[in-house]
Structure 1
Amino acid sequence: MSKSSPVVDLFIPCFIDQIRPKIAWDTIKVLKSVGCRVRYKAKQTCCGQPAYNAGFWKEACSVAEKLIDEFDDENAYVVAPSASCIGMIRNAYTDILKSEEKLEKYYSLQKRAFELSEFLVDVLGIEQLENVCFPHRITYHDSCSALRECYISDAPRKLLQSIKGLEIVEMSGIETCCGFGGTFAVKFPAISAAMAEQKLQNASQTTTEYVVSTDFSCLMHLESYAKKNNISLNFLHIAEILANDC
């Protein structure tokens, strides 16, 4: 694959598609601004994580096989504005795939799938975007999937630190879970809410205006708790900041 004009097949998580599609459009804008040729496969659905985490591995396998067949161009990267989905694709499919044919295609996909900030920094070598401004103080939330499944920590911070007017203030307990965890929040709502409360207390102590992350699932969880409890913080996906013109 040529890095001078990379071809990117965009994978958009279910919850971004349904709840905040602006993140998808901002992801496209960012990728195009660095010279990528972006393609979107309209029949794409899910990475299979909800079924996998709930123990429905047969159903998760069907979804995974569909994704593998759709993103089968070995000359294209697969980029998602979600470390959670990328972590699922990279790490869980070997548990559920049974077909040798699908496994062979999967190993190619596994090497080509990246979270947005990781792709920009670690694959393209871009640590600064031109004509991007965000004159605000922010604190950054490390999602569990980014940290523990994809080992992403430095890439989003490098990009954010390069933006004109933006100041990052790190919160305490940066490696602590926000409490979402997909079905965890449904099965254990009291524990999930307590973890969100602690995370937002840490964020509020930074006296920043925004909480930013690579994962909208975490932000969705934290924003819901903040609204319910009148906590005055704003929540943005990193793509929404990287697409903010001066």
Structure 2
Amino acid sequence: MATAPPDASPPPPYSDGRLHARPALLHAGLPAAPPLPAGTHKLAFPDGRHARLHVPAQDPQQPPRPMPLLVLLHGAGGQHGGGDAIALAHAARQGSLLLIPDALSTSWDVLRGGYGPDLAFVDRALGWIMRRYEVDASAVAIGGFSDGASYALSVGLMNGDLFGDILAFSPGFMAPLRRTGQPRVFVAHGVADKVLLVERGKGIALRLAGEGYEVRYAEFDGAHVVSPPVAREALRLLAQQR
């Protein structure tokens, strides 16, 4: 009896959860592209994908230096819970690049069948930035709110060789396919959260701490939002890691 040949079709791109952009692209012989000036810009890519990018001002009297980079992911429906304004103020104050990509749909791909188009877009946007700015490889972080926090945890744990820090504000879950590196993790959750109960964030923090990650966990008296004092503390700790 003849046997069917094995399925040789390749897996979908990015289904392994891995990002490929690295700051070293700037030094790999690839042609550099002209940077955008200081300020906050709306990026529109040819395939219809969008993101926002904040470029910090640099002192012209000082030599250029590699810049930290924070990737910030929205929750379902594009909600940031107030965290985007806080992150923008932090980026301006600390001289950090801030990338805020939009998901293809109302939330991120892992909630809609697996890693794929959104992870590919994040990778593309990172590569776009790294060809235009010198990014500090030791100061790349990923964070998010709600679904974005869950996605940041998942992507950050799979790509801990890129992200040194993960900031998760009111996460619901984490779904890494594998672990790479040992990123530091900050988890915050409101005790009155009725959308994603506080036990979810607490459970994630306890699990990661038990697995040997450096974890900071903060609860606040609030609902499904980003607490400004807690967010500022998380970003202050992030700046201290530089």
Structure 1 or 2: larger helix share?
1
Structure 1 or 2: larger strand share?
2
One fold, TM greater than 0.5?
A: no
TM-score by length of 2: 0.38
